[in-house]
Amino acid sequence: MKNKIAGFKSYLSMVKFAHTIFAMPFALLGFFMGEASSHNFRWGTLILVVLCMVFARNAAMGFNRFIDRRFDAANQRTAGREIPAGIIKPFNALAFVILNSVLFILCSFFLNENKLAFYLSPLALLVILGYSLCKRFTAYSHIVLGLGLALAPIGAYIAVCGEFAVLPILLSFMVLFWVSGFDIIYALQDIDFDKSQQLKSIPARLGIYNSLIFSSVLHLLSFLLIIAIGILGEWHIYYWIGGGIFSFLLLYQHLIVKTDNLSRINLAFFTTNGVASIVFGFFGVLDLLLR
């Protein structure tokens, strides 16, 4: 029994399950935006949305670890990950990816009557799995990662309403710019390794200073979209509180990561962005529930 628990924990560690907090609050926000629009709250749909998020992210992270295992083994920062360390075999990791992909598509089938979410699920998988291959041929893999997480709010909205809408699409673009920006900051710690392995990234292409400028521009766009969504959607005070705190935390991570001091990247990446996501999602959902 202990061995099974230890094995399960290894898979959770492989996919960095705790990092689900980046996208899950926005999926929930998209869900409640759909509920507010359709007045069609269903616990079953909410549970399926959460499961879709978990399965999709597990598939994406598992595939990333599988496809990048050679690079992870060569990189001192990542050599201790489960596959290069021999904790999880590559075949088992691939089986994990396939299982989670199938479960994601299966859950999407039951989301709405017009099956739009189901029809779009293979495209969503193509994006979130394809990200792991992007560093081999484009420096803009960060944008693809952002696109993958940006599918969370619009996907959850479609799960409820069975159609697209302007506000959740704008929210998805906000997430895209936010995630792309902080992933560029995170990639700064691998700039030398990426160059040595001929892997492409914004830091490897532009250098530290210009990468931080690029990230700042993306986060500025995210901030402007927060304002646009608040105005167009006629949100109330709780949304603006969440948006204000989120925006401050975007600024904060740029204040603590400097060209001559990258030691606080992990603080900026996980803690700051994790808190930002939870706060924005919480206050956004609260605003919707209290209308």
pLDDT at 6 over 50: no
Q: What is the mean pLDDT of the chain?
A: 93
Mean pLDDT over 262-281 rounds to 86
Q: What is the pLDDT of residues 161-170, one digit of tens each?
A: 999 999 999 9
For the chain, domain boundaries? 2-289
pLDDT value for 7 = 78
CA pair distance 31, 40, nearest whole angstrom = 10
Dihedral sign of CA atoms 22, 13, 45, 113 in order = positive
Q: What is the pLDDT of residues 185-213, one digit of tens each?
A: 999 999 999 999 999 999 999 999 999 99
CATH architecture of 2-289: Orthogonal Bundle (1.10)
pLDDT at 54 over 60: yes
Dihedral sign of CA atoms 101, 104, 107, 111 in order = negative
The vertex-197 CA angle with 19 and 216, nearest 5°, equals 50
201 φψ region: left (φ > 0), alpha (ψ -120 to 50), beta (else) = beta
Q: What is the pLDDT of residues 89-123, one digit of tens each?
A: 999 999 999 999 999 999 999 998 889 999 999 99
Mean pLDDT over 230-242 rounds to 97
CA pair distance 16, 160, nearest whole angstrom = 28
CA pair distance 285, 281, nearest whole angstrom = 6
The model's pTM:
0.94
Mean pLDDT over 111-140 rounds to 94
pLDDT at 5 over 60: no
pLDDT value for 16 = 84
- What is the percent of the chain with per-residue pLDDT over 70, rounded to a whole number? 98
In this structure, of 15-29, 92-106, 207-221, 258-272, the range with the lowest mean pLDDT score is 258-272
CA pair distance 286, 267, nearest whole angstrom = 27
